[in-house]
A and B are shown apart, each in its own frame.
Chain A
Amino acid sequence: MSKPANRTVTLQRPALAPSGGRLWRPSYGAPLASVAVAVVVLIAWQYLPPMLGVPKYIIPRVSDLYLEMIRLWNQENLLKHFMSTASMSIVGFVLGGLLGAVFGYALGLLPTWEKVLSPYILALQIAPKVAFAPLFILWFGYNAWPKLIVTILVVFFPILVNVLQAMRIMDRDLVNLARAYNMSRTKIFFKIMLPFSMPNLLAGLRIGATLAVIGITVGELVGGEIGLGYLISFGQGQANTAMVFDAIALLTVIGIAMYWAVTAIESRVLHYLPKAAGAPSTKP
């Protein structure tokens, strides 16, 4: 009698312990550890450089960054610079995304044109688009256009390439099905091709969202009078390292916000994919 009872206990124990731990750890453990890492890094950042004799103009302390942020807000109209960069990033991202998608679908529907243009697309895709910024300043002057065009170019290609890819791997049987139902080409595009390409389009947009901030920043660095990129270049000229750090941090915030927005749209649009939904399957 006691033997089988013992056996069940020894069998249950190792099974229970890790699963009990697993229930708790992933929900609270990882985020807590992430916060702990941040706290440790910030404390080290605050106290280590002064202890090692590193001057403030090389590595400003965390408290200096905070004070500089307040000074920028009060005296340098930080909000204006932040809003300029944020709005230009969004405008550039939207325009670049639209153009990339339109060209992607157009080339996907016109394979001959795609073949003719593909070497140039490849070359332009490889060319460092941000290097065009000084050129655009020569052409358009010191206004919003150079940075906007750089951003549009930077965002354009990943979206174009992703949409083209979707058009290439398109399920011909789905298109044939729609043809067999006597659907017009326009309807086939909107009812089959466009939704079919959504995962690729959104993957392209996700990449584009992070690149948009880079495009705007480079434009502002090379020739701007406004924006966080301009603050970086201004801060560098004055050896105000804290200002440079603060501007970089805010640029990152804009990038994260845009990336997060695209991800949120993505999980709404692609809810029909088992992975993206994240919801438990309701299979009977």
Chain B
Amino acid sequence: MTVTSTVLQLRDVARRFPGRSAGAPPFTAVRDLSFNVGEGEFVSVVGPSGCGKSTLLNLVAGLDQPSEGTVSLHGVEVAGPSSHVGFMLQKDLLLPWRTVLHNVEFGLEARDMPAAERRERAMRELKRCRLTEFADRYPYQISGGQRQRAALARTLAINPDVVLLDEPFSALDAQTKLVLQKSFAATIAGSNLTTLLITHDLSEAVAMSDRILVMSDGPGRIVEEINVGLPDRDNPIARAGTPRASEIIKHLFHALHLGEREDA
């Protein structure tokens, strides 16, 4: 994939939190984070638990501000929540009191948009995520995979410049996960979306992304960058079987010292 222009840029970003008790030194969650994500690029961030992946995500989403450095979107510094960032978590966060359609409309309700246009856009996203027939269902009436797809439709409905995915597949069973990864990959590739995926699943990172950033903990920083260089980004299942994929996974396994770690 040819990188045309930079959408997301982090420059020397650090985030420190006050110490737990008075007088304790501040806790550094992440430091020296510098990377770019180009338009239409799919970048994954992998790393051990507690390496500051969620902090990174909150910084990009504008829910949190860096202590040092800058986060910018299309060259504009992120100073607060922006309606140009789509945000998706492990929990689908569908509102149980709304139908699937009204859940997809949720993000658009922050804007001044006529109800008819909102409805039209939500229906378009539901179609893209193949959920049209479930538009009038309530979240409890659909499966876990369908719920995650509805959450993706809600995320895409706001036409985001960048989509942040925080472990969106990790609460699903193994088979649903594979099917949903394929479904997400096809949707994302088909719409040329700029995506930042945070995951602990190495094969997921390899199967879905153009580039992988490896983070290390204490404090979180990027220790390696891997260009995946595989075709079929829209079909992770086809990708996962290639020798190059298993080679990268093996390499990541060593890079994260998973063989030596005993603390989880």
Contact = CB atoms under 8 A, between A and B. Distances in A.
Interface of A: 171, 173-174, 176-184, 187, 191-192, 195, 198, 272-274, 281-283
A180 B140 contact: no
B141 A177 contact: no
A133 to B, nearest CB: 39
Contacts of B137: 282
B141 A282 contact: yes
B95 A195 contact: yes
Contact of A180 (B62, B91, B139): B62
Contacts of B80: 182
Interface of B: 61-63, 80-83, 85, 87, 89, 91, 93, 95-98, 106-107, 109-110, 137-143, 158
Contacts of A184: 110
Nearest to B146: A284
Given A173-B89, A274-B140, A283-B141, A181 B96 contact: no
A183 B110 contact: yes
B96 A272 contact: yes
Contacts of B140: 272-274, 281
A283 B139 CA distance: 10
A182 B82 contact: yes
A283 B142 contact: yes
Contacts of B62: 180
Given A181-B106, A187-B110, A176 B63 contact: yes
A174 B109 contact: no
26 contacts: A174-B93, A177-B87, A177-B89, A178-B106, A179-B81, A180-B85, A180-B87, A181-B87, A181-B106, A181-B110, A181-B158, A182-B81, A182-B82, A182-B110, A183-B110, A187-B109, A191-B109, A192-B95, A195-B95, A272-B97, A272-B98, A272-B140, A273-B96, A273-B140, A281-B140, A283-B141
A191 B98 CA distance: 10
Contact of A181 (B83, B97, B138): B83
A273 B141 CA distance: 10
A177 B97 CA distance: 16
A174 B82 contact: no
Q: Which among A171, A177, A183 has the greatest number of chain B C-beta atoms within 10 A?
A: A177
Contacts of A173: 89, 91, 93
Contacts of A182: 80-83, 110
A180 B61 contact: yes
A177 B93 contact: yes
Contacts of A178: 106, 110
Given A180-B81, A182-B83, A183-B109, 7 more contacts: A171-B93, A174-B95, A178-B106, A184-B110, A191-B109, A273-B96, A274-B140
Contacts of B61: 180
A6 B77 CA distance: 80
Contacts of A272: 96-98, 138-140
A248 to B, nearest CB: 40
A11 B97 CA distance: 45
Contacts of B97: 195, 198, 272
A25 B255 CA distance: 66
B91 A181 contact: no
B214 to A, nearest CB: 26
Closest 5 CB pairs of A and B: A180-B87, A183-B110, A182-B83, A181-B107, A195-B97
Contacts of B158: 181
A187 B109 CA distance: 9
A281 B141 contact: yes
B157 to A, nearest CB: 10
A195 B81 CA distance: 23
Contacts of A183: 109-110
Q: Which among A176, A181, A283 has the greatest number of chain B C-beta atoms within 10 A?
A: A181
A283 B80 CA distance: 39
A195 B85 CA distance: 25
Q: Which among A171, A179, A182, A192 has the greatest number of chain B C-beta atoms within 10 A?
A: A182
A182 to B, nearest CB: 5
A195 to B, nearest CB: 5
B73 to A, nearest CB: 13
Contacts of A274: 140
A181 B110 CA distance: 7
Nearest to A180: B87
A180 B106 CA distance: 12
Contacts of B141: 281-283
Nearest to B83: A182
Contacts of A283: 141-143
Contacts of A282: 137, 141
A283 B143 CA distance: 8
